[in-house]
Structure 1
Amino acid sequence: MLAVEAGVVADLHARARATYYPDGVPEAGFDWVGAWRKAVRREDGQVLCAVERGTVVAIASFRPPQDGPAGTVKLFQFHVDPGRWRAGIGTALHTACVEQWRADGRATAVLDVHADNRRAQAFYARRGWVPDPEHPPAPDDHHLALRLDVRTAP
Structure 2
Amino acid sequence: MLRPAGADDLIAVGALHQRSRAAAYAPFLSREALAEPAPTALGHYWRERWSHERADHVLTVAERDGQLIGFSYVGPDDQGDPSTGLLHAVHLEPAEQGHGLGRMLMADALAGMRSRGWQAAALWVLRLNRPARRFYERGGWRPTGVTQPDLIGATPVVLLRYRRGL
Q: TM-score range by the shorter chain?
A: 0.7 to 0.9
Higher RCO (CA-CA < 8 Å; seq separation 6+): 2
One-letter code of the match for 1:48?
T
Conservation of the 8 A alpha-carbon contact between 2:60 and 2:73: yes
Match of 2:160 in 1: 144
Structure 2 segments unaligned to the other structure (5+ residues)? 1-5, 150-155
Match of 1:62 in 2: 74
Instruction: Say if 1:99 and 1:9 are closer, same or farther in 2 by CA, change over 3 A.
Output: same
Structure 1 segments unaligned to the other structure (5+ residues)? none
Match of 1:126 in 2: 138
Q: What TM-score do you get using the length of structure 1 for normalisation? A: 0.85
Match of 2:37 in 1: 28
Structure (1 or 2) with the greater strand fraction: 2
Residue 91 of structure 2 is aligned to residue 84 of structure 1: no
Cα RMSD between the aligned structures?
A: 2.0
Instruction: Say if 1:35 and 1:92 are closer, same or farther in 2 by CA, change over 3 A.
Output: same
Helix, strand or coil: the match of 1:105? coil
One-letter code of the match for 1:82?
P
Residue by residue over 1:62-84, the C-alpha shift from the partner in whole angstroms, topping out at 9 and shown as x without a partner, is 11034511121111111011111
Conservation of the 8 A alpha-carbon contact between 1:39 and 1:45: no
Helix, strand or coil: the match of 2:95? helix
Distance 2:92 2:16 in 1: 8
The size of the alignment, in residue pairs, is 147
One-letter code of the match for 2:111?
E
Q: Percent identity?
A: 26
Shift in Å at residue 2 of structure 1? 3.0
